[in-house]
Structure 1
Amino acid sequence: MKKFIPYFCIFYFISFYTKAQVSDTSKTNNPFAEARYHYFLKTVILFNEYLDTDNGSYNTTQLRLLYPIGNKAWNLRFDVPLISANTNSVNKTGIGDIGAGISYIPFIKNNNGLAIRARVISNSAQDPNFGSGKWVFIPTVFYARYLKTKKFLWISSLEYQASFAGQSDRSDINITAYENVVLYFFGRNWISADTAFRYNNTVKGFQNNAFLEYGRKISADDLIYIHPSYAFGGEKTYNFGLEIGILVLF
């Protein structure tokens, strides 16, 4: 069975612009002040992702907390995944690898910005099939820019995933990922298209994917989104997927 690697979700600082809750830094129509990529509000995200693989399916229900700190140029992130597997070798449900991260925006202007993030994924899965068996360090750099008008936002990211501890009988993690997403905003809605190229240096192959997304603000503090995804590359970890999520601002 191919080793399952959870889908990478980029820079999920998601919400809409609310002047009463943000610092002066956010009052400049910056790249992170739109749906899906807001940086300054406390956010709870609950999403469910279904992945079809050659060996069965994986379903991940994940709780994510985003919490700005200090002058709100800093942001904390916590992830707790609940994974259900229906494959030839395992049919059960359990907690996956829990993760935590911290992000910082060192540069931001009216139409572009730069952010950096560091995450650690723990070796905490209840079952070996629900995690990598390794502790993983993930540094990421993001660049965001509006394209022509404030209705189009482009975000590009470069990420490196490296294991540094864990079970000796599990494969090391050594992955480089380059990702680009373009979002279009209209009214209370957004749509986006994303392509991510990932090279896994352990298996010497590409594990790429692309997705389309539609999202909508359904109340002052709640947003929903849906996106189907498709994997491609010689060492892809799944065939196709579907993710549905809800975001609650507080």
Structure 2
Amino acid sequence: MTKSTLNFCILFFISLASTAQESQNTNETAKTVYEEARYHYYLKTILLFNEYLDTDSGSYNTTQIRFLHPIGNKAWNLRVDLPLISTNTSSINKTGLGDVGAGISYIPYLDHKNGGVALRGRVISNSAVDPALGSGKWVFAPAVFFGKYLITNKLLWISSFENQSSFAGSSNRSRVSITSFENYFMYLFGKNWVAADAAFRYNDVNKGFPNNAFVEFGRKITPNDLAYIHPSVAFGNHKTYNFGIEVGMLILF
């Protein structure tokens, strides 16, 4: 994607990249290090994706719609996540609304040469229609991000640090306390991108390391629509799944 099309968050994350929107303001948009398809802050964005996860006891599928909306001078961003969860195990077969989440992100510093810093706060509600489809807790998740082009307009690196801690919810469910460190690398060429990501996590409740990694392949389909696919694998003790695959589309407007 050329400079004129670099208008993706944040897996990672702020999970988690280039405007596919053609822009006449080339010099201005070229300065925004976070303007990559999955870390997109500067346009209203709808992200639709489906993620399938294989676990030791069955499967776990999430179909999710995510809204991203810039606020004010566009250094601020509002995010809302609406997940539809489906489980398929030997003992549980459920489908319904999962834990709805909302967050606000802020970019205090951004420079095309030196990189940028972003801050995010998310609240994940205890809203699942069935205990099997959510954590049973209200969770607060603050995060900090650093992004920088390692090769100008070609290779983007975004690193993030996040903590998820429960502060309310069912007394019958385990508390949530997870710290994660994640690094995402994206290489852009033409209308396409390839990416790799590794997330290292520590779960203070079970003293486990539910880590995972994925590779991603994406393409600009139209000036305002991008599609991607990424297979993933989990590793570490107390991992939450074995392998998975996610397919998604971003609509920018």
Tell me the TM-score range normalised by the shorter chain. Answer: over 0.9
Q: Tell me, yes or no, if the aligned pair for 2:209 and 2:237 is still in contact at 8 Å.
A: yes
Q: Give deviations 1:183-237, integer Å, cap 9, x for gaps.
A: 0000000000000000000000100000000000000111100000000010100
- Decide whether aligned partners of structure 1 residues 21 and 35 sit closer, same or farther in structure 2, where only a CA change above 3 A counts: farther
Q: Give deviations 1:126-184, integer Å, cap 9, x for gaps.
A: 01010000000000000001103320000000000000000001000011000001100
- Decide whether aligned partners of structure 1 residues 71 and 57 sit closer, same or farther in structure 2, where only a CA change above 3 A counts: same
Alignment correspondent of 2:7: none
- Decide whether aligned partners of structure 1 residues 73 and 249 sit closer, same or farther in structure 2, where only a CA change above 3 A counts: same
Alignment correspondent of 1:89: 91
Alignment correspondent of 1:155: 158
Q: Tell me, yes or no, if the aligned pair for 2:22 and 2:223 is still in contact at 8 Å.
A: no
Please list, as runs of the form range in 1=range in 2, the aligned pairs for 1:38-187 lying within 5 A after superposition. Answer: 38-111=40-113, 112-187=115-190
Q: Tell me, yes or no, if the aligned pair for 2:184 and 2:197 is still in contact at 8 Å.
A: yes
Alignment correspondent of 1:189: 192
Q: Tell me, yes or no, if the aligned pair for 2:46 and 2:65 is still in contact at 8 Å.
A: yes
TM-score, reference length from structure 2: 0.91
- Decide whether aligned partners of structure 1 residues 82 and 44 sit closer, same or farther in structure 2, where only a CA change above 3 A counts: same
Q: Tell me, yes or no, if the aligned pair for 1:45 and 1:64 is still in contact at 8 Å.
A: yes
Q: What is the identity, as a one-letter code, of the residue corresponding to 2:29?
A: K
Q: What is the identity, as a one-letter code, of the residue corresponding to 2:56?
A: D
* SS of 2:38 mapped into structure 1: coil
Alignment correspondent of 1:31: 33
In the TM superposition, what is the alpha-carbon distance from 1:28 to its structure 2 partner? 4.0
* SS of 1:129 mapped into structure 2: helix
Alpha-carbon distance in structure 2 between the residues aligned to 1:215 and 1:19: 18
* SS of 2:112 mapped into structure 1: coil
* SS of 1:125 mapped into structure 2: coil
Q: Structure 1 stretch 142-151 or stretch 180-189: which is displaced more?
A: 142-151
Alignment correspondent of 1:235: 238
Correspondent of 1:11 among 4, 10, 14: 14
Taking only the aligned residue pairs, the percentage that are identical comes to 62
- 1:203 matched to 2:206: yes
Alpha-carbon distance in structure 1 between the residues aligned to 2:126 and 2:24: 35
Alpha-carbon distance in structure 2 between the residues aligned to 1:74 and 1:149: 24
Aligned length in residues: 242
- Decide whether aligned partners of structure 1 residues 148 and 220 sit closer, same or farther in structure 2, where only a CA change above 3 A counts: closer
Q: What is the identity, as a one-letter code, of the residue corresponding to 1:100?
A: A
Alpha-carbon distance in structure 2 between the residues aligned to 1:19 and 1:223: 13
In structure 2, stretches of 5+ residues that fail to align are: 1-10
Q: Tell me, yes or no, if the aligned pair for 1:14 and 1:43 is still in contact at 8 Å.
A: no
Alpha-carbon distance in structure 2 between the residues aligned to 1:71 and 1:170: 41
Correspondent of 1:220 among 219, 223, 229: 223
Q: What is the identity, as a one-letter code, of the residue corresponding to 1:162?
A: S
Q: Tell me, yes or no, if the aligned pair for 1:98 and 1:124 is still in contact at 8 Å.
A: yes
Q: Tell me, yes or no, if the aligned pair for 1:217 and 1:224 is still in contact at 8 Å.
A: yes
